[in-house]
Amino acid sequence: MTDERTIAMERLREQGLGCTRCDLHLSGTHVVWGEGDLHAQVMLIGQGPGEQEAKAGRPFVGPSGEVLNEWLATTGIDRSKLWISNTIKHWATSLNERGRRVNRTPKTSEVQACRIWIEGELTIVAPKILVCIGAPSAQAIIDKKFKITESRGQWFKGPNDEDVIATFHPSYLIRLRAADVAAYDAAWAQVLDDFRAVAERAGELNIDLN
């Protein structure tokens, strides 16, 4: 039997598929909607889809998704028990020197335009814990001046009184691996600490993530 949350999310998603609230709808790529357990009590919010996600129409399925899956597996968190979404639903790109589309950080105006959809997802799923993956997500959910290097791993309150924590985005770690191995190792350990903190807080709230 289809439950109320499924109906409400499908209605919201159908509205989102036709969204023209910012210029990213002109990109010609898929809207990448959230996915997972509609009754999840933990929600992950990334910054926005990358190339692979835009092609697949699903969040965290490319290289960033592989890294996220490794973090979740290492810290004993079952991805199927989460709702996973992004602050913006279209792929934000710029052209590199060879004229190829590459990822870019979403503009504040794009995040603001797209906020209506993440707010809708928060209302329907009603999670108790939010995990902001990357600075744009933390700036959208916690504080527009949020600095990920200073405040990741700390607990804050979300728009609906959720417990919120922020950590690095996998794409940052992927770039760091190529540039500075020692910094990459340190950041990797910090992310695992952050996800362990999520698992611990979930345990305190009797949320089963295994």
- Chain residues binding ligand SF4 by CB under 6 A are 16, 19-22, 24-25, 31, 88-90, 110, 113-114
Nearer CB in complex with ligand SF4: 27/154: 27
Q: b or e along 132-155 (b: 16 or more beta carbons within 10 Å of the residue's beta carbon)?
A: bbbbbbbbbbbeeebebeebbeee
Nearer CB in complex with ligand SF4: 5/25: 25
User: Shortest Cβ distance from residue 112 to ligand SF4 (Å)?
Assistant: 9
Nearer CB in complex with ligand SF4: 67/88: 88
User: Which of 61, 68, 66 minimizes the C-alpha distance to 33?
Assistant: 61
Query: How is residue 74 written in tokens?
Result: 């290492």
User: Shortest Cβ distance from residue 20 to ligand SF4 (Å)?
Assistant: 6
User: Shortest Cβ distance from residue 49 to ligand SF4 (Å)?
Assistant: 9
Is-contact 19 117, C-beta < 8 A? yes
CA 205/CA 202 separation, integer angstroms: 5
User: Shortest Cβ distance from residue 25 to ligand SF4 (Å)?
Assistant: 4
